[in-house]
């Protein structure tokens, strides 16, 4: 395996952030913390209700999604350079498929929460690297949240935190690189080699 892959988070990275996680937690009745992990601890009936609420929010986010500036162009440029690309998200596949289709995103692989272990575990990144025949140590994970960085770091990839116009989050030190815009990604990868 000698290929360099670039693995992207979806919400807040390729698309503009629209999911309001505090509202989702409030609607479900979770005081704080990661939503999917909270669902795992629920009884069957409560979990079914919570999944319906989460599904409603993800459907709204997918159908109203807008791309980050330059997202499609970056994916195409990476493809032209021979880098396989993937989307790794904690979202449901049906709504990821809506976003990919709506915005005509060309990626080589997609991994969602239905596919097994989720971020922040290393397994989803390692599985994508195997699928793309890519060397994790030569690959990149690009995301906007700590779980993206943790997943990439545990898998041995290099990590890029995209922060947009917001303040630099406290977990930025967990990233190898921090960018504000996707346009900064290609020069960064070119400078740091495969």
Tell me how far apart the alpha carbons of residues 146 and 156 are, in angstroms, rounded to a whole number: 15
Structure tokens that stand for 129 in this block:
């690297």
Write the pLDDT tens digit of every residue in 101-148: 999 999 999 999 999 999 999 999 999 999 999 999 999 999 999 999
Give the burial class of 46: count Cβ atoms within 10 A of its Cβ; 0-12 exposed, 13-18 middle, 19 or more buried.
Answer: middle
For the chain, give every domain's residue range. 6-17+66-192, 21-63
Closest CA to 142 of 157, 155, 130, 131: 157
Write the pLDDT tens digit of every residue in 169-189: 999 999 999 999 999 999 999
Which one is the CATH code of 6-17+66-192: 1.10.420.10, 3.40.50.2300, 3.40.50.1000, 3.40.50.10860? 3.40.50.1000
Starting at the edge strand found earlier in the chain, the sheet holding 6-8 runs 109-111, 85-88, 6-8, 140-143, 158-162, 177-179
């Amino acid at each position: 395996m000698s290929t360099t892959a670039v693995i992207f988070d979806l919400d807040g990275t390729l698309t503009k952030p629209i999911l309001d996680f505090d509202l989702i937690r409030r609607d479900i009745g979770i005081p704080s913390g990661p939503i999917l992990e909270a669902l795992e601890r629920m009884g069957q009936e409560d979990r079914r209700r919570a999944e319906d609420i989460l599904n409603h929010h993800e459907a709204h986010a997918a159908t109203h999604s807008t791309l980050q500036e330059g997202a499609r162009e970056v994916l195409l440029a990476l493809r032209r350079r021979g880098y396989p690309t993937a989307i790794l998200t904690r979202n449901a596949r049906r709504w990821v498929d809506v976003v990919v289709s709506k915005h005509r995103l060309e990626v080589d692989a997609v991994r969602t929460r239905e596919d097994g272990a989720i971020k922040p575990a290393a397994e989803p990144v390692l599985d994508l690297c195997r699928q793309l025949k890519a060397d994790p140590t030569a690959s990149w994970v690009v995301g906007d949240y700590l779980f993206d960085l943790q997943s990439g770091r545990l898998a041995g990839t290099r990590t890029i935190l995209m922060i947009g116009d917001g303040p630099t989050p406290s977990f930025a030190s967990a990233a190898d690189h921090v960018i504000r815009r996707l346009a900064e990604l290609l020069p960064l990868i070119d400078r740091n080699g495969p």
